[in-house]
Amino acid sequence: MYAFIHIPKTAGTTLRSQLRDAFGPRHCDVKVPTRRRDTQTWVEPCDLRYLKKIYPVLSGICGHRVTCFSDLDRAAPEIRYFTFLRDPVRRFISNFHHAYRGRTDECTADDLAAYAADPANCNIQTRWLCGQNDAALAIGYLDARIGLVGLTERFDESLVLLNRWLGLPPPTRFGHALNRCRGTAPLRYTGDPALLAIITEANVLDLEVYHHASEICYPRQIEDYGEDRFAEDMACLRERPPPPRARG
């Protein structure tokens, strides 16, 4: 059984649609039950046991509250985890846009600073991997518990790696992302040293974790795949035209 740790704003919605297409009724998007959300943060073994009763041929789960540190293996000893990570600065900006969607007034530098000052908005990738603000622990989980880590910035490549890891045929290219934030706030972000410093400070642990994932984990996965085979499969993927954008 696979478990996709869906970290917010890492192209997880697009990936989730791929999993639904591939596994159909054997895939389940899971949340913490409403009656327990005030006291329970992550999906726990009891939730997975309940799902397995409803889905007797369950192949995998995904969700924003699926993690690798909540002992889900007690309910499914065969469970295998994977996740996608994104450049922390870009992920944070996207999350900021998402949080302020629907506002009629323009976002300001003060809005960004207030958003970054809330610990709930900081180092999200680290906390989704290990449950706390501990980059070393998150990196340890990447090495020991996460079977595959994709990178949003290298999405097509990551799909090739993932499909082989899941035992699926080669993927079809996506022509567009799902759940993309509409519009942008009138801020220069990375072009403004003061704003970039705010964003960097809010994601200092995520930057360390992402560096390990992109510089250590990801190259290792390509090496395990076989560099020549990987290059061939990527060439085949790029030759396929992306599907047309859905209307409506």
3-state SS, residue 244: coil
How is the beta sheet containing 2-5 ordered, strand by strand?
A: 27-29, 60-63, 2-5, 80-85, 146-151
What confidence score (pLDDT) does residue 166 get? 96
pTM over the 0.85 mark: yes
Which residues of the chain carry a pLDDT beneath 70? Answer: 102, 104, 172-186, 241-248
Q: What is the pLDDT of residue 136?
A: 98
- pLDDT of 98: 86
Going by C-alpha positions, the residue among 6, 19, 133, 138 that lies closest to residue 82 is 6
Strand 146-151 to strand 2-5: parallel, antiparallel, or no bridges (unpaired)? Answer: unpaired
222-234 tens-digit pLDDT: 999 999 999 999 9
In order, the DSSP letters of 25-78 are GGEEE----GGGTTT--S--HHHHHHHHHH-TT--EEEETT--SSS-GGGT-TT
